[in-house]
Amino acid sequence: MNLKIVALAGGVGGAKLAHGLAKILSPENLTIIVNTGDDFEHHGLYISPDLDTVCYTLAGLANPVTGWGRVNESWNATENIAKLGGQTWFQLGDRDLATHLMRTSRLKKGDSLSAITHDFCHAWGIEHRIIPMTDDYMPTIVDTVEMGELPFQEYFVHQRCKPTVKGFRFEGVESVRPAEGVEKAINDADAVVICPSNPWVSIAPILAATKLNSTREAGFTSKKNPIVALSPIIGGEAVKGPAAKMYRELGIEPSALAVAKGYEGFVDGFIFDKVDAVLEPEIQNLGMKTMIIDSYMKDINGRERVAKDVLKFIHTLL
């Protein structure tokens, strides 16, 4: 089981599988590359929602109910922000605020997001490496029918994903560079795992920022390390978040097959849930190896179970 793995993760779903992988892989064998397309500024603070979700989850600090923010959180700052007329659609817990404050003030001093993340992980006792996909700013913009273009958190949190999606744009994608350590981690990996995160707004930004989609055949990866993806869609619905709604609004029937089609051409192996077993022939027709598992990660045991399945599958591909 001494595989070197790079996992690409968005928020909650990605954090769960990353957590499972961290339970069974030693720190030197797992690097988690996290989406930062959701990053935004709120009350003058630089906020990295997916990075925080992944870090808090691995540190055992995550709120298990909400899927975001900290466990045992207090809300005294937010209550008082509201009293002063401030927007509170993005909830800032008191403990969580420390993260945003320290990150923001260090960014202002010129430290990179990846260096800050490294230090935070150390402070939180996280031994596995977590790297933001880029130290550049590449915000995801959601184009909607009703409200035009919206920054991601405006769409996701403020508008609660209600506007109808027309498309997505990653601002500055042309000039964005992977963060320090990202390329080396991918080149050194035996396999890359695309976590069951939202393909449109969690995985696509990471693939774009790391050039993993467009440059795989051009030899960006120095050896034939397989890329394995997991479907965030189970039985036509997303476990959490707006992925299924996005597929529908873009005119695509949401399914594990639809996810696999999106990854066609650069994903070698595809893992999806047993309830979607009937889709296997069509997914295999896309040129992917397949594995059917119980992919729902209800609890910490579920995370570890799925992580073990992923490693087993990778062994069959090597």
**By the rule CB under 8 A, 111 interacts with a second copy:** no
**Which of 4, 23, 24, 45 contacts a second copy by CB under 8 A?**
45
Q: Where are the alpha helices (DSSP H) in the chain?
A: 12-24, 49-59, 76-83, 94-108, 113-123, 152-153, 182-188, 204-210, 243-249, 256-262, 280-284, 300-317
Closest C-alpha among 213, 214, 136 to residue 172: 136
Question: Contacting a second copy (CB under 8 A), which of 26, 28, 119, 162?
Answer: 119
Q: Which amino acid is at 68?
A: W
**Residue 264 binds to a second copy (criterion: CB under 8 A):** no
Task: Name the minimum Å distance from CB 126 to a second copy.
Answer: 13
Asked if residue 60 binds a second copy (CB under 8 A), the reply is no
Q: Which residue among 28, 79, 146, 264 contacts a second copy (CB under 8 A)?
A: 79
Instruction: Fill in the per-residue mask, 122 to 161: x = in contact with a second copy (CB under 8 A), - = not in contact.
Output: -xx-------------------------------------
Are the C-beta atoms of 215 and 177 separated by less than 8 Å? no
Q: Which residue has the tokens 């403020």?
A: 158
Contact between residue 191 and residue 314 where contact means Cβ atoms under 8 Å apart: yes
94 binds a second copy (CB under 8 A): yes
Nearest-approach distance from CB 34 to a second copy, in angstroms: 18
Q: What are phi and psi of 236, to 5 degrees?
A: 80, 0
Tokens matching residue 314: 């990778």
Instruction: Determine if 77 is a binding residue for a second copy (CB under 8 A).
Output: yes
Among 65, 108, 175, 223, binds a second copy (CB under 8 A): 108
Q: Is 175 exposed, middle or buried (0-12, 13-18, 19+ CB in 10 A)?
A: exposed
**Of 84, 174, 218, 223, the one binding a second copy by CB under 8 A:** 84
Distance CA 264, CA 259 (A): 9
Q: What is the Cα–Cα distance from 318 to 313, expressed in whole angstroms?
A: 9
Minimum distance from residue 98 beta carbon to a second copy (Å): 3
Cβ closer to a second copy: 77 or 147? 77
Number of residues in contact with a second copy under rule CB under 8 A: 30
> Which amino acid is located at 231 in the chain?
S
Q: Measured between alpha carbons, how far is 93 from 90 in angstroms, rounded to an integer?
A: 10
Residue 26 interacts with a second copy (CB under 8 A)? no
Secondary structure element (H or E) that encloses residue 143, with its range: strand 140-144
Pick 124 or 220: Cβ nearer a second copy: 124
Stretch of 6-14, 31-39, 95-103, 268-276 contacting a second copy, by CB under 8 A: 95-103
Shortest distance, position 191 Cβ to a second copy, whole Å? 32
Q: Compute the least distance from the CB of residue 82 to a second copy, in Å.
A: 8
**Neighbouring C-beta atoms of residue 254, cutoff 10 Å:** 20
* Binding flag, residue 71, a second copy (CB under 8 A): no
Q: Which of 24, 71, 81, 252 binds a second copy (CB under 8 A)?
A: 81
Q: Which of 76, 187, 284, 285 binds a second copy (CB under 8 A)?
A: 76
Using CB under 8 A as the binding rule, whether residue 85 contacts a second copy is answered as yes
Q: At what angle do helices 94-108 and 113-123 cross, to 10 degrees?
A: 140
Residues near a second copy, by CB under 8 A: 43-45, 73-74, 76-81, 83-86, 93-95, 97-99, 101-102, 104-105, 108, 119-120, 123-124
